[in-house]
Chains A and B, each alone.
Chain A
Amino acid sequence: MTLMPSSLAEVQEVVRTYPHIRPRGGGSKPALCAPLEGQTVLEMAGLSGVLEYDPGEYVLVARAGTKLAEVEALLAEHGQYLPFDPPFVEQGATLGGTVAAGLSGPMRQRYGGVRDFILGVQFVDGEGRLVRGGGKVVKNAAGFDLPKLMVGSLGRLGILTEVAFKVFPFPKATATLLVNFSGLEEALKALYRLAGSPIELYALDLEPPATLALRLGGLPEALPARLERLQSFLGQTGELLREAAEARYWRHLNPLPLGEGRLVKVALTARHIPDLEKALGSTPRRYLSAGNLLYLSWNDEPDRLDALLKAQGLSGLVLKGTVARSQLGINLEHVLGHKVSRALDPQGKFSLHAPLP
């Protein structure tokens, strides 16, 4: 069954009434929001709209069902953006789904991921109570950090109804360099050198086999000098993308167009890359944020990827494509997680697993 609440009270009512609930933003990460037997789907699209946005404040507050596209358009009018660069904007992703899935894009490199920008949340817990955490100012240390807790929670701790974010000015000019290296080793060497240097990059992606995609942003008058410095730092000029071609390049990547397989997010550090590269073969993939984030498209059995990630001590999350379990690789469950989940959802209404018959 699918329900479409249009008010907070209705969300609370649904949670109180039904035993098993799966929230859905709009379904851009189908593996995460497809209901299992016995789960009632809660479509969050009815709870949408920006509630507060003062560009001078660098803060935006919106209902969880608000489409990213709407948020981005509004921010862009004032030269601002969501610095964690969420994916699936044109595919209809919502703010709540983005937070719940914990997804960031290439530009997370510059200032950080979703967790670094969320300021406040409001959610309905497993008992139908409305809970608020954090606030809507850029600095706040009052109470437990429930906003961060909700990042990556996959709807298992509560139904997000409102989120507050810190936003930043978008650079007035950007440029992208695509730089090919003779092999992975050379590319990784450059990646490490860049990541440890004072050169500020909006994106630092590795496109296998050995290309770095580097995005610079800032004031237009400083960009040429910075590009030159970057090129001499690298010892080669690379392919320069500017203006419309540059924007197109990154827009094209926003839906993570890696192919038809199961789309998987992997959290890692750059030192895992050499082994992964050997193991992943022809799997379409892209490493983001100086090797801290990998998106890949898996065409084989999920169990094989599960084993591969486990062998590397890594965890993965399936975003698209059917799987019995969306979490792959090493088990990140621990007693703190169980206890906190039970505290917020004592009856297990938001459990990610199919209810027992």
Chain B
Amino acid sequence: MNPALSELERLFPPGRFLVKPGELAPYESDALTAFRARPLAVVLPESHEEVVAAVRWCAKHQIPYVARGSGTSLSGGSLPIDGGLLIGLNRMNKLLRLDAKERLAVVQPGFINLQVSNAAAPYGLYYAPDPSSQPVSTIGGNLAFNSGGAHCLKYGMTSNHVLAARVVLPDGETIELGSESLENTGPDWLGLFVGSEGLLGIATEITLRLLPKPETYHTVLAAYDSLEKAGEAVAAVVASGLLPGAMEIMDSLAIEAAEAAVKAGYPLEARALLIVELEGETPQVEAEAQYLEEVIQKSGAYEVRVAQNADERMKIWKGRKAAFSAVGRLSPDYIVQDGVVPRSRLGQALAEIEQLSARYGLRVANVFHAGDGNLHPLILYNGRVEGELQRAEELAGEILKLCVALGGSITGEHGVGMEKKSYMTEMFSEDDLDAMQRIRQALDPWALSNRGKMFPGEAPALRFHGAHPLEKAGVISRE
């Protein structure tokens, strides 16, 4: 073992310092299994001080490092760096404080998203950001990726729910960003840190904002004979002045897959399903429900179901949440894309995706956060057919360019990571990227922290696509 490594070994007890190939293997990739890299070593800190020690060691020896939560990043964000250190934060998984009166929770970075809401539930509170990976993904990973979910139009993304963070900068210095207040008096440094994809440092303690649980939900499932009608229904709901907590659309391929997987009782022959959920105070939701009913009736839905109780509501959502992993039943391999278009261009975007699908000879299933214009096209292919993966990749790229051309974004919630760094130039000019790079270099002149991610550069070739092992096991599903 080289001297630098033995120095590191002295900092971490056995069992929390991993170097043997067998020990490293589970850390070689994240949920974007197309990329693989072997880290030099893995350390599993249990305290802020140990994170500082690891980062200082990296700074001293100029060794790049990656922080890792649960490794569910879909864009290769937590892919290790060849020869770099991997800092696994799963053991820093404590709830440090829950202050129900002030409606906040202070957690270590490895605390699991869903656990926050579970801990807050006895007080009638919850943590709003709900990525589909919430049963496994960590608050640290959510913060670094500014994760989203079905409720972003109304509640915003993770960034809107993080109040403060203790951060270890790439030189090992510790700073505190934000405060317990919702307000600020100075530049929003915390706002910059959230969503920086692990490039600006490691969060070791995070203060989250909790919200009172809505009193009532009103969940409607509407079936359409065309995708276009479902898209127009979303526009009509918005135009009516209603602000639903969630609006989701699934196309026929996604419906077929979801039904096969979880039997949610969806109308199988529908060309598109729309789920609209109102939430809030009971008298208000009851009144809104009447307007919603009118809007949905006029939108040409041929079947409308309203969840009559919590069970029926869960069933509607179960199908939606399972749709992605369920697509695995229709195809040996698939790519999940994540792009955003202005809501008014949804129809156009879907029509063009359909044409692209035909042109490339690959099926595309659509499941998306319609209220946010956040598309998640699933490109189905067979990795064993010569050239199909490459065609799928090209098609995915075309879809991203389409999103940008329509005025949208290359990612709504999965981040840039490894996967999309070459598309950053589609969205940002050289000066834009240069400003971001200057910020990064000011904090990390040797680019140690998550080197090789987010900014355009060479990417290794893709090898494989498919479900995350936890998806295959049915533990989580993606949106």
Contact = CB atoms under 8 A, between A and B. Distances in A.
Contact of B102 (A133, A135, A270): A270
Contacts of A235: none
B101 A196 contact: yes
Interface in A291-308: 292-293
A21 interface: no
B435 interface: yes
Nearest to B427: A142
B347 interface: no
A115 B183 CA distance: 9
A139 B287 contact: no
Contacts of A104: 183
B364 interface: no
B340 A137 contact: yes
B191 A267 contact: no
B187 interface: yes
A229 interface: yes
A168 B153 CA distance: 10
A238 interface: no
B415 interface: yes
Interface in B137-158: 145-146, 148, 152-154, 156-157
A138 B372 contact: yes
Given A137-B408, A139-B152, A149 B287 contact: no
A29 interface: no
Interface stretch (B4-12, B221-229, B266-274, B438-446): B438-446
Contacts of A149: 187-189, 191-192
Given A293-B183, A344-B435, A141 B280 contact: no
B183 A222 contact: no
Contacts of B215: 198
B284 interface: yes
B123 interface: yes
A145 B184 contact: no
Contacts of A156: 187
Contact of B235 (A56, A192, A222): A56
B283 A229 contact: yes
Contacts of B125: 196
B153 A138 contact: yes
A152 B436 contact: no
A57 B343 contact: yes
A131 B432 contact: yes
Contacts of B344: 54, 56-57
A342 interface: yes
Interface stretch (B54-62, B169-177, B313-321): B169-177
B93 interface: no
A315 interface: yes
Contact of B123 (A137, A196, A332): A196
B148 A139 contact: yes
Contacts of A112: 156, 160, 182
A66 B435 CA distance: 25
25 contacts: A102-B183, A116-B156, A129-B431, A138-B343, A141-B409, A143-B428, A151-B191, A152-B185, A156-B187, A172-B241, A198-B212, A198-B215, A200-B280, A219-B284, A222-B286, A225-B283, A226-B281, A267-B183, A292-B183, A329-B185, A332-B185, A335-B175, A339-B442, A340-B443, A342-B442
Interface of A: 54-59, 79, 102, 104, 108, 111-113, 115-116, 125, 129-133, 135-154, 156-157, 168-169, 172, 192, 195-200, 218-219, 221-222, 225-226, 229, 265-271, 289, 292-293, 315-317, 327, 329, 332, 334-337, 339-340, 342-344
What are the 3 A-B residue pairs with the smallest beta carbon separation, nearest first?
A148-B191, A267-B183, A343-B442
